[in-house]
Amino acid sequence: VMSCCGLLTAEKEPVPLKSIEVELEVRDHVATLVSTLLYENKEDKPIEAVFVFPLPGDAAVCHFSAVIGQTQIVAEVKEKQQAREEYDDALSSGQQAFLLEESDQSPDIFSLSVGSLPPGESASIRLEYVTELAVQADDGLRFCLPAVLNPRYQPQGSEGASVQVTSVPASLVPYSLSFSARVSCPRPISKVESSSSLDPLQYLNAEKTQATVKLAAGHKFDRDVELLIYYTDAHQPTAVVEAGQASAKPGTLMGDQMLMLSLYPEFPPAVMSSVTSCGEIIFLLDRSGSMDFHTSGSNPSLSFIPFSKDTLLLLLKSLPMGCYFNIYSFGSTYEHVFPKSVEYSEKMMEEALKKVEEMTANLGGTEILEPLEHIYSQPCIPNQPRQLFVFTDGEVENTKEVINLVKKNSGSHRCFSFGIGEGASTALINGLAKEGGGHAQFITGADRMQPKVMQSLRFALQPAVQDVSVTWDLPKGVSVTVLSPPLTALFQGQRSLIYAQISGQSSEAVEGCVTVKYSLAGHHSQNQLCFSLKPAEDTGLTVHRLGAQTLIRSLEMEEREHRGQQDGGLKEKVVELSVQSGVSSSFTAFIAVNKSDGKEIQGPLVRINIPASSEYFSKGYLKTLQINIKKTIRNHSSKMMYSDCFIFAILFSETCLPEQPLRDPLLQLVSLQKASGCWLLDAALAAALGKTSEEVEKPKPEVWATILALIWLHGFKTDAKEEWELLAMKAVSWIHAQHGNNNLHSPPGLPHKPRLHPTTFNMHFTCCLMYL
């Protein structure tokens, strides 16, 4: 049964989508993607094909057209209900029509309806969008082409039909993908990497500022296509000024110049070398059935849950003494380890770890809204800034509602989000971090979760930036309107983007300046960037579209906050801006109708839902996805028939997971560390270090055991330093504190009262190596 699912319709008709061709152009940290989808109807009757697919959640869809035979039809952006009615009217009149619309629940899911394809006819659909590229922990810029659309879970009691998703195992998706990219930047391109196989990078000039790359032949569209692009000096602040659209009226968004600022604040080294010892750290872990998927990385026998539990172990061991913490987990219901956050101690840490060890993916669906509401209902602890860590594969349907809740509570916390596995909702993961003033990370393919999570923990333990302000210095006659939401969160090494509309002209000065001021741990700092007001060449309207999309998303969220109140003009503003800029929104859609030949398509239409690639469950876990599909069969001889039906899709694998492999030696050592930062000298530590009990028996057991553990980390796990650096700092602080205790003396070879700052601790290791 599984081998047929999605490949054929219920009437055994073949799927009409044949291929997808993708061309990507990356300029510095902005990407433009053009995707061409080829459809062919080999049936003896006309068809209506519906294809539901994912896009990056922050993408601005800005062009949609179709080519049928020799005729090209360019779609227009119109109010969504109007576009739907025009589409239905066109099909009822026997005309070909195409409708592209964003999901009402999530901005990273689009549906494309291809209507009235005659027998034997082909249609080539062209879709274009622009998007920003996120900066990763290693300074790489990440582009992701979502290939996997996991079924979105609809919360219990929610109204309306869920998004129509026909999902099949990725290996059975019948359409192919070709993918090529062109990269250009003012700075040299050092490398381009991918989790998929790539042909060698081809440089186009001697300066290595332009290059091309493409997927290797034989690529299967069975996972997200991820590119990591590395530039020299990737963190340099930049400014791009783009000329307005020639046909647009000056003073409008598209008629004026558009500015995009990329800022990287540099914090004082003295502040960055310290970490706060306070804070309320709350972990929220997805335990829905989909978290029992097999990973597609280097350990395919493991599901997401064991990786998440190992990561929680590392996080709990790395927390500083003096903070507060709690762990929530959710599915159709939610659980918490403690009724409210507790002070971090050895007893509380061990109790939490026992609960973590018992966790499985057994909580059903993915209802994240309720546990978030409970967390926000808990009063904040005085002088303990709240930091929320969310781990999920992102299979929620009420994305916009969840993000709106986080925004409402953004003044009381920072939110760090982690998208786990192929198909995680970019709209959800990026939206949680953006509105929660935190940082988003994606763990796919062979990625290790721990390094990315520990980077976010270091961000969370940084002193919070306060009193952020942005001021402008522009020539007389020139004004600026900022389109981006106010800056509230700044992190060392994290980029902040600001879009602004520049109105007016100056006959004298051709340069402007922007200054970002903020307070950090009592230090008042500022960063200034000067930029030319002369428009950059050959940028098209990319910056305008990204600026328009930024403003559209802000207005959409404001509209949801005021829905049901008196202010009903926000929706109209979004529609007007969307139509003016040609950028999609939740209230508009792209509509194209072929009126060229005037011929009516004869016969009833058969609706076909084209399958998207999906992952499926292991370990015998059964998950039922209920999809409410309205199947419409239109008879153009004045007969209209509608039928409602429910289809239940059960995806499962009958094979259980094999036995878990031996635990990672690093995690084995980490699991033995105490909350204070020390290790105990016992048989378990000896085993973790690969020694016998006799080899490690020395005076002053706790101090010596801790030094042994630190030496092992620095000697054998330098490649994973970002994972254990925080807990090593805690261990060094513990050692330093012991020298104030008369019952403990320094181990032989160690100075009497060493200044064991983590950056200088390596100097003392040579004094201890003789004891190994």
**In 10 A of CB 61, how many CB atoms?**
25
Kindly provide the b/e burial profile for residues 23-33, where b requires at least 16 CB atoms within 10 angstroms of the residue's own CB. Answer: bbbbbbbbbbb
Better-scored residue on pLDDT, 691 or 600: 691
Which segment of 211-225, 395-409, 508-522, 758-772 scores lowest on mean pLDDT? Answer: 758-772
In this prediction, residue 482 has a pLDDT band, given cuts at 50, 70 and 90, of very high
Note whether 600 and 683 are same-domain residues: no
- pLDDT exceeds 50 at position 276: yes
In terms of Cβ atoms closer than 10 Å to its own Cβ (0-12, 13-18, 19+), residue 250 is exposed
In this prediction, residue 173 has a pLDDT band, given cuts at 50, 70 and 90, of low
Domain boundary (418, 443, 461) is at 461
In this prediction, residue 108 has a pLDDT band, given cuts at 50, 70 and 90, of confident
Six token digits for residue 341: 């956050």
What is the number of structural domains in the chain? Answer: 4
Note whether 207 and 248 are same-domain residues: no
Better-scored residue on pLDDT, 344 or 17: 344
Structural element, H or E, at residue 457: helix 449-461
Better-scored residue on pLDDT, 505 or 696: 505
In this prediction, residue 84 has a pLDDT band, given cuts at 50, 70 and 90, of very high
Q: CA-CA distance, 745 to 752, in Å (whole number)?
A: 8
Note whether 454 and 517 are same-domain residues: no
Note whether 122 and 143 are same-domain residues: yes
- Is 634 a member of any domain? no
Could you give phi then psi for residue 55, rounded to 5 degrees?
-135, 160
- pLDDT exceeds 60 at position 542: yes
Residue in the block written with tokens 């539901």: 52
Six token digits for residue 633: 């069969």
What's the mean pLDDT in 610-638? 32
**Three-class SS state of 233:** coil
Q: CA-CA distance, 58 to 143, in Å (whole number)?
A: 12
The closest alpha carbon to 27, from 265, 196, 253, 262, belongs to: 262
Question: For residue 225, what are the domain limits?
Answer: 17-233+579-615
* Most confident segment among 292-306, 444-458, 600-614, 708-722: 708-722
**CATH code where residue 602 lies:** 2.60.40
Domain boundary (461, 486, 515) is at 461
In this prediction, residue 274 has a pLDDT band, given cuts at 50, 70 and 90, of low
Better-scored residue on pLDDT, 746 or 1: 746
What's the mean pLDDT in 102-129? 82
Note whether 450 and 504 are same-domain residues: no
- Is 657 a member of any domain? no
Note whether 94 and 177 are same-domain residues: yes
- pLDDT exceeds 50 at position 88: yes
With contact defined as beta carbons under 8 Å apart, do 19 and 98 qualify?
no
Count CA atoms within 13 Å of residue 730 on its CB side. Answer: 26
Note whether 698 and 609 are same-domain residues: no
- Is 627 a member of any domain? no
Note whether 704 and 717 are same-domain residues: yes
Note whether 300 and 189 are same-domain residues: no
Could you give phi then psi for residue 684, rounded to 5 degrees?
-65, -40
Contacts of 30 (CB under 8 A, 6+ apart): 130, 131, 132, 133, 260, 542, 543, 546
Better-scored residue on pLDDT, 432 or 450: 432
- pLDDT exceeds 50 at position 76: yes
pLDDT at 215: 87
The closest alpha carbon to 366, from 306, 300, 425, belongs to: 425
* Most confident segment among 70-84, 604-618, 636-650: 70-84
The DSSP string of 672-729 is T--TTS----SHHHHHHHT--HHHH--SSHHHHHHHHHHHHHHHH-GGGHHHHHHHHH
Six token digits for residue 104: 């009402």
Distances (CA, A) of 166 to 150, 225, 329, 651: 10, 20, 29, 12
- Is 392 a member of any domain? yes
In this prediction, residue 10 has a pLDDT band, given cuts at 50, 70 and 90, of very low
pLDDT at 1: 23
- Is 166 a member of any domain? yes
Beta strands 440-443 and 413-420 are: parallel
- pLDDT exceeds 70 at position 375: yes
Q: CA-CA distance, 399 to 150, in Å (whole number)?
A: 14
Six token digits for residue 423: 């198909």
**Which residue type sits at 354?**
K
On average, the pLDDT of the chain sits at: 76
- pLDDT exceeds 80 at position 144: yes
**CATH code where residue 427 lies:** 3.40.50.410
What's the mean pLDDT in 55-60? 82
Better-scored residue on pLDDT, 772 or 52: 52
- Strand blocks (E) in 264-315: 280-286
Distances (CA, A) of 106 to 96, 152, 394, 585: 28, 10, 11, 11
- Is 3 a member of any domain? no
In this prediction, residue 106 has a pLDDT band, given cuts at 50, 70 and 90, of confident
What's the mean pLDDT in 584-604? 74
Which segment of 160-174, 513-527, 668-682 scores lowest on mean pLDDT? Answer: 160-174
- pLDDT exceeds 70 at position 760: no
Percent of the chain scoring above 90 in pLDDT: 22
Note whether 593 and 721 are same-domain residues: no
Note whether 357 and 474 are same-domain residues: no
- pLDDT exceeds 50 at position 25: yes
Q: Please enumerate, as own/partner, the contacts of 537-540 that have beta carbons within 8 Å and a separation of 24 or more.
A: 539/27, 539/240, 539/242, 539/243, 540/32, 540/242
What's the mean pLDDT in 616-623? 28
Q: At what angle do helices 701-716 and 721-738 cross, to 10 degrees?
A: 150
- Is 454 a member of any domain? yes
pLDDT at 697: 65
- Is 316 a member of any domain? yes
The model's pTM: 0.72
Distances (CA, A) of 345 to 52, 116, 677: 49, 66, 11
Better-scored residue on pLDDT, 630 or 431: 431
What's the mean pLDDT in 91-119? 83
Note whether 80 and 229 are same-domain residues: yes
Distances (CA, A) of 50 to 15, 393, 589, 688: 10, 25, 15, 55
Q: CA-CA distance, 473 to 471, in Å (whole number)?
A: 7
Distances (CA, A) of 766 to 21, 666, 748, 761, 770: 57, 22, 12, 10, 8
- pLDDT exceeds 90 at position 258: yes
Residue in the block written with tokens 């429910």: 646
In this prediction, residue 237 has a pLDDT band, given cuts at 50, 70 and 90, of confident
pLDDT at 453: 85
pLDDT at 538: 65
pLDDT at 83: 94
With contact defined as beta carbons under 8 Å apart, do 416 and 284 qualify?
no
Residue in the block written with tokens 């604040």: 265
Q: CA-CA distance, 768 to 772, in Å (whole number)?
A: 8
In this prediction, residue 128 has a pLDDT band, given cuts at 50, 70 and 90, of very high
What's the mean pLDDT in 317-323? 88
